[in-house]
Amino acid sequence: MTKSTPLHGLHQSLGAKLVPFAGWEMPLQYEGVIAEHLWCRSNAGLFDVSHMAVIELWGADAATALERITPAGITTLAVGRQRYGLLLNDTGGVVDDFMVTNWGEHLTMVANASRRDADMAFLSQHLDDVDIVERPDISLIAIQGPRAAEAVASLSTDGPELIDEMVFLDNRLAALATGSGPVSVAVARSGYTGEDGFELAVDGADVQALAEALLANEAVKPAGLGARDTLRLEAGLCLYGNDLDETTSPVEADLVWSMPKRRREAGDFLGAARVQAELADGPSRVRVGLAPGGKRPVRDGATLSGTGHTDGSAGTVSSGGFGPSVERPVAMAYVHPDLKESGTELEADVRGKSVACTVADLPFAPHNYRR
Amino acid sequence: MLAPENLRYSSDHEWIKSEEGGRVRVGITDFAQDALGDIVFVELPELDAAIEAGASIAEVESTKSVSDIYAPVSGKVVEVNDELNDEPQKLNSDPYGDGWIFVVEVQDQAQVDALLDAAAYGELTEG
**Average model confidence (pLDDT) for chain A?**
97
pLDDT at B1: 75
Mean pLDDT, residues A57-79: 97
> Which of A32, A299, A329 is nearest residue B37 as measured by Cβ atoms?
A32
- Give the mean pLDDT per block of 10 residues along chain B (127 residues): 93 97 97 96 97 96 93 98 97 98 97 97 89
Mean pLDDT, residues A311-329: 97
- Give the closest-approach CA distance of A47 to chain B in angstroms: 18
* Nearest by Cα to A34 from A305, A293, A301, A223: A223
Q: Return the CATH class of domain B8-121.
A: mainly beta
Q: Is A325 on the interface with B (CB under 8 A)?
A: no
> Which of B63, B66, B85 is nearest residue A230 as measured by Cβ atoms?
B63
A1 pLDDT exceeds 90? no
* Residue B97 neighbours by CB under 8 Å, 6+ apart: none
- Give the closest-approach CA distance of B18 to chain A in angstroms: 31
Residues of A in contact with B92 (CB under 8 A): 32
By CA distance, what is B84's nearest residue in A?
Answer: A295
As a whole number of angstroms, the distance between CA A49 and CA A26 comes to 9
pLDDT at B127: 65
* Nearest by Cα to A227 from A46, A9, A74: A46
- Which DSSP category does B120 fall into? H
Q: Is A39 on the interface with B (CB under 8 A)?
A: no
Going from N- to C-terminal start, the domains of chain B cover 8-121
* Residue A128 neighbours by CB under 8 Å, 6+ apart: none
Beta-carbon separation of A295 and B85 below 8 A: yes
Mean pLDDT, residues A343-357: 96
Q: How confident is the model at residue A139 (pLDDT cuts 50, 70, 90)?
A: very high
Inter-helix orientation angle A33-42/A225-234, to 10° = 60
Segment A232-256, tens digit of pLDDT: 999 999 999 999 999 999 999 999 9
- Which three-class secondary structure string do you get for chain A? CCECCCCHHHHHHCCCEEEEECCEEEEEECCCHHHHHHHHHHCEEEEECCCCEEEEEECCCHHHHHCCCCCCCCCCCCCCEEEEEEEECCCCCEEEEEEEEECCCEEEEEECHHHHHHHHHHHHHHCCCCEEEECCCEEEEEEECCCHHHHHHCCECCCCHHHHCCCCCEEEEEEECCCCCCEEEEEECCCCCCCCEEEEEEECCCHHHHHHHHHCCCCEEECCHHHHHHHHHHCCCCCECCCECCCCCCCCCCCHHHCCHHHHHHCCCCCHHHHHHHHHHCCCCEEEEEEECCCCCCCCCCEEEECCECCCECEEEEEEEEECCCCEEEEEEEECHHHCCCCCEEEEEECCEEEEEEEECCCCCCCCCCC
CB A11 within 8 A of CB A105: no
As a whole number of angstroms, the distance between CA A354 and CA A249 comes to 29
Going from N- to C-terminal start, the domains of chain A cover 1-257, 284-360
Mean pLDDT, residues A217-236: 98
Classify domain A1-257 at the CATH superfamily level.
Answer: Probable tRNA modification gtpase trme; domain 1 (3.30.1360.120)
Which amino acid is present at A214?
A: L
Whole-model pTM: value is 0.96
Higher pLDDT, B64 or A272: A272
Count of pairs with CB atoms under 8 A, one residue in A, one in B: 40
* Residue A329: other Cβ atoms inside 10 A: 25
As a whole number of angstroms, the distance between CA A232 and CA A147 comes to 18
As a whole number of angstroms, the distance between CA A178 and CA A158 comes to 14
Beta-carbon separation of B41 and A351 below 8 A: no
Beta-carbon separation of B63 and A34 below 8 A: yes
pLDDT at A26: 98
* Residue A180: other Cβ atoms inside 10 A: 13
Mean pLDDT, residues A204-210: 98
As a whole number of angstroms, the distance between CA B121 and CA A149 comes to 48
A188 pLDDT exceeds 90? yes
As a whole number of angstroms, the distance between CA A23 and CA A50 comes to 12
pLDDT at A59: 95
CB B39 within 8 A of CB B91: yes
pLDDT at B64: 86
> Which of A226, A295, A297 is nearest residue B37 as measured by Cβ atoms?
A226
Beta-carbon separation of B64 and A28 below 8 A: yes
> Which of B43, B63, B92 is nearest residue A322 as measured by Cβ atoms?
B63
- Give the closest-approach CA distance of A323 to chain B in angstroms: 9
Beta-carbon separation of A295 and B66 below 8 A: no
Mutant choice from B38, B43, B66, B82 vs A, greatest count of A C-beta within 10 A: B38
A146 pLDDT exceeds 90? yes
Which amino acid is present at B51?
A: I
* Residue A119 neighbours by CB under 8 Å, 6+ apart: A53, A55, A87, A95, A96, A98, A111, A112
Classify domain A284-360 at the CATH superfamily level.
Answer: Aminomethyltransferase beta-barrel domains (2.40.30.110)
Segment A19-35, tens digit of pLDDT: 999 999 999 999 999 99
CB B21 within 8 A of CB B95: no
Residues of B in contact with A329 (CB under 8 A): 40-41
